[in-house]
Amino acid sequence: MTASTAQTTMSDGTKGLVVRGLTTTFDTTRGLAIAAADVDFDVAPGEVVGLVGESGSGKSVTLRSIMRLIREPGKVSGRVEWGGRDLVAMPAEELRKVRGGEIAMIFQEPMTALNPVLPIGVQIEENLKAHTGLTGSQRRARALELMNIVGIPAAERRLDEYPHQFSGGMRQRAMIAIALACSPKLLLADEPTTALDVTIQDQILKLLLDLRDRLAMSVVLVTHDLGVVAATCDRMAVMYAGRIVETGTVAEVFARPHHPYTRGLLGSVPRSGHSRTMLQSIDGTPPSLTALPQGCAFHPRCSFATEICRTDRPPLDLIGAGRRVACHHHEEVAAAEPIL
């Protein structure tokens, strides 16, 4: 399904993922850190949405907040609607049924997500046991199938091995196998292929797209690789200092970024975008989350900034169907010559 055919309206509120006003704060010794601020986005059934932004912009915090995996003293507010239910307010027991079954997450650091004292095969099977009616031998067969799908060699033997016996890339594949075990309807994938070589990366992305087509699985894909966004995602959301600053279809955003930060990220990315193209670095450093600048958080690094940017934070305005931007000067930015 492409961006144009994917269902992008949530008319009855029961389809896909609807995130509204998601805000996550951490009380730190340096003050309150607002790691995700008023995050709004939708993911329709069968849609793949890329979430991009520099390190520390709040991508992982956003995914963890959706899955309700933020621990005290972190605080999450806002609404995360899934199938008409609010995950933020859902009782823990109900949430456990949803998590790992309907909604799965691929974590940025595989080691923190894998259980060190259980063989990989058992971890896949545990997930199947919790969320499917498969028998023991069916679970074993499915675990083996998943290991093969994610490209783990000697899968039969490796089912009985522990995470520490796996290399980093193999652990990442094992985690992908666990996440995909129950054919989730929503996959939150945090840099799922970063540690993998290009061939395996392509295979795994192909697998995700295949599942999306077959199961109308929705995907939120966090990546630093704009080539992956171009090749895989229908829409994208750009985060800066905990806020979404621009959203739109991948084609629209690549062709005409409206936010100066997006413009900087895209930099001189080849517009065909099929090579591995990492985010460009932008002059200056991201602000401290405990001491955000007044007005637009990007203004100290922005060549388009004027007085209003230093005083008033721009809202995430709708500028077209599914196209939003938070910039006082977005028209000027969009009209500017591309960075070469």
- Binding residues (CB under 6 A) for ligand ATP: these are 26, 28, 33, 35, 53, 55-61, 74, 108, 289
Q: Among the candidate windows 45-53, 107-115, 142-150, 248-256, which touches Mg ion by CB under 5 A?
A: 107-115
**Nearest Cα to Cα of residue 314 among 293, 289, 338:** 293
Q: Which does 107 bind (CB under 5 to 8 A by kind): Mg ion, ligand ATP, none?
A: none
Q: Among the candidate windows 59-67, 177-185, 315-323, 328-336, which touches Mg ion by CB under 5 A?
A: 59-67
Tell the smallest beta-carbon distance from residue 193 to ligand ATP (Å): 14
Q: Which is nearer to ligand ATP, 59 or 140 (CB)?
A: 59
What are the structure tokens assigned to 2, written together? 């492409």
Antiparallel, parallel or unpaired: β 243-249 and 235-240:
antiparallel
Q: Which is nearer to ligand ATP, 56 or 119 (CB)?
A: 56
Tell the smallest beta-carbon distance from residue 118 to Mg ion (Å): 25
57 lies in the binding site for Mg ion (CB under 5 A): no
What are the C-alpha distances in Å from 310 to residues 44, 216, 300, 305, 328? Answer: 35, 43, 8, 8, 11
Residues 6+ apart with CB under 8 A from 93: none
CA torsion angle 190 325 281 199 (round to 10)? 40
Tell the smallest beta-carbon distance from residue 149 to Mg ion (Å): 25
- Is 36 within 8 Å of 63 (Cβ atoms)? no
What are the structure tokens assigned to 325, written together? 């931007």
Tell the smallest beta-carbon distance from residue 120 to Mg ion (Å): 23
Label residue 219 left, alpha or beta by phi (over 0 means left) and psi (-120 to 50 means alpha): beta
Q: Is 104 helix (H, G, I), strand (E, B) or coil?
A: strand
60 lies in the binding site for Mg ion (CB under 5 A): yes
Q: Which does 28 bind (CB under 5 to 8 A by kind): ligand ATP, Mg ion, none?
A: ligand ATP
Contacting positions for Mg ion (CB under 5 A): 60, 108
